[in-house]
Structure 1
Amino acid sequence: MNFNTGGGLVGLLILIGDIWAIINILQSGASTGAKLLWILLVVLLPLLGLIIWFVAGPKSSTS
């Protein structure tokens, strides 16, 4: 059986979102420890971590 649900495309979009989030975390004004914790959250829980970061994560230091 072939359940072609487009999982590869969804996974690629999540990966792109996670990379974007990590770049923004590194550019934020948060402390090094906070940056490390956010990055770990995004890496260990890719979709959930991305959503949590988007809602509550450190904001970029540039306006």
Structure 2
Amino acid sequence: MGIEVGGLLGLIWLVIVIWAIIKVAKSSAGGISKLLWILVLLFFPFIGLLIWLLLGPKG
């Protein structure tokens, strides 16, 4: 039962991170800023997502 729940939570987390990357790519921020945010989200998914939610581009 633990594997199914862990797999489902992992899938949900992956969808959230992909959503954040798409939001960054569509934002009006500059190219370097977008690249840096995407790299942070890819290399540090948990911390990167939290930082992006707090400090990232709004709107």
User: Taking structure 2 as the reference length, what is the TM-score of the superposition?
Assistant: 0.85
Moved over 4 A (4+): none
Which protein, 1 or 2, shows the higher relative CO under an 8 Å CA cutoff with sep ≥ 6? 1
Runs (5+) with no aligned partner, structure 2 = none
Which residue of structure 1 aligns with residue 49 of structure 2? 50
Percent of matched pairs sharing the same residue: 47
Q: How does 1:3-42 map to 2 (within 5 A)?
A: 4=2, 6-42=5-41
The CA RMSD over aligned residues, in Å, is: 1.5
For 1:15-62, what per-residue CA distance to the aligned partner results, in whole angstroms no more than 9, with x for missing partners? 0011100110011111100000000000111111111111111124xx
Runs (5+) with no aligned partner, structure 1 = none
> Whole-Å Cα distance in 1 between the matches of residues 36 and 6 of structure 2?
28
The answer to whether the 8 A contact 1:18-1:50 is kept is yes
Query: Of the two, which has the highest radius of gyration?
Result: 1
Residues matched between the structures, number: 58
User: Taking structure 1 as the reference length, what is the TM-score of the superposition?
Assistant: 0.80
